[in-house]
Amino acid sequence: MSKQKKLNNVELVNHLEAKGITFRNISKGQAITFIDKTNYYYKIAAFRKNFKKRDGKYIDLDFEYLKDLASIDMQIRNLLFSISINTEHFIKTEISRLINNNSKENGYNIIKEFQNSKEYKRYYNLTKKKFKQSRYQHDMYEKRKKDYPYWALLEHMDYGCLIKFVKFYYSKYKNKSKSLKKAVELGDNARYIRNACAHNSVFIINVFEENSKLNNVNANVTTLAKQIGVYKFKNYKKVNDLLSLCALSKAYCSKPVLEYQRKDLDNFLERYYRNKDYYRKNLELTKMITVFEKIQKII
């Protein structure tokens, strides 16, 4: 396979024009300046995947639409990342509550067992390494480096390790930690959303592609999808992960935080509606915004 030729930004804009993208609402010169100063080509051009082609050229796609979608996508990512880290915080709060109130745990033994478990040892080691290399909490590490309490290590667990620790604790105290069940079942799904947003990955592309469907989804997701009226979309990976995150948020976040998130979602929808006429005929984007409109009922 031959390598693609590198193009400068003028050539890239001309390439878009050759693919049928118009410049009615924004000039080619403005588009070049936008790519030069505000957003890079790969990210802005990615949104063209939401539009259909005929004879190799995009139908009803102006560069202004790509520019608008880039702005909308940034707001979606900020919204979902905020929900993700809020949910992560409250899951940590819940497992802390359980351990603190568990007379069989002293705060240290659970970490020793986590460290020595064959399945989870590497997650312990990754967290310990982050703790040791922490730029701002080195004094905490020096004080506790020979014997970690769970509350110190929990502070340095990334989301993936947190869910592993939750699963480990839940498997040991299943009857006494039923409140962690949703985190155990849906935590990995929500992680995909969190990581995509944290790494600034484009979100609103390939949402409803047939090759992006799951064969099975968790019963919690199915129930939630039925409840809010998006059952037919539940098997699409991004919808599945989005519903998982929302279910976790609803289960663990405090009422004030849920209200704050709801306002952020309202602001996002208001931003989308600003130029909704751009996408009135676009089935993919219409379905996507329908999912977010339905989520208003639960988040």
pLDDT 10s digits, 203-237: 999 999 988 899 999 999 999 999 999 999 999 99
Distance (Å, whole) CA 29 – CA 71: 19
Query: DSSP class of residue 157?
Result: -
Domain match, 108 and 164 both: yes
- Whether 120 maps to a domain, the answer reads yes
Q: Note the residue count of the chain.
A: 299
Measured CA distances, 180 to 77, 130, 184 (Å) = 26, 25, 6
Task: Give a yes or no: residue 242 inside a domain.
Answer: no
Q: What one-character DSSP code corresponds to residue 85?
A: H
The answer to whether position 119 is within a domain reads yes
| pLDDT attached to residue 2 | 62
Instruction: Quote the mean pLDDT of the chain.
Output: 92
Q: Which of 113, 152, 150, 107 is nearest to 131 (CA)?
A: 152
Least confident of 98-107, 132-141, 231-240: 132-141
Instruction: Please measure the distance between the N-terminal and C-terminal CA atoms of the chain and give it in whole angstroms.
Output: 47
Q: What are 54's strand-pairing partners? A: 57
- Gyration radius from the chain CA atoms: 23
Same domain, 166 and 115: yes
What is the CA angle 134-138-140, rounded to 5? 115
Last residue of a domain, one of 142, 172, 202: 172
Distance of alpha carbon 33 from alpha carbon 235, whole angstroms: 40
The tally of domains found in the chain comes to 2
Structural domain contains residue 121 = yes
Cβ 288 vs Cβ 204: under 8 Å: yes
Pairing of β 57-58 and β 53-54: antiparallel
pLDDT at 141 over 70: no
The whole domain housing 51 covers 9-66
DSSP lists the bridge partners of residue 58 as 53
| CA distances to 39, 198, 242, 243 from 270, in Å | 23, 23, 20, 21
Q: Are 123 and 151 in contact (CB under 8 A)?
A: no
Structure tokens, 81:
């990342």
Residue 131 pLDDT class (50, 70, 90 cuts) = confident
CA distance linking residue 261 with residue 245, whole number of Å: 12
Count CB atoms within 10 A of the CB of residue 37.
7
Which structure tokens are listed for 251?
């289960």
Shared-domain flag, residues 112 and 163: yes
- Residue 56 within any structural domain of the chain: yes
Residue 205 is assigned to a structural domain of this protein:
no
Closest by CA position to 296, among listed 252, 232, 249, 254:
249
pLDDT at 144: 65
Quick one: which of 5, 32, 89, 22 has its CA closest to 58? 22
Say if 145 falls within a structural domain. Answer: yes
> What confidence tens digit (pLDDT) does each residue in 176-195 have?
999 999 999 999 999 999 99
Structural domain includes residue 53 = yes
- Tokens describing residue 135: 């730029």
Q: How confident is the model at residue 33 (pLDDT cuts 50, 70, 90)?
A: very high
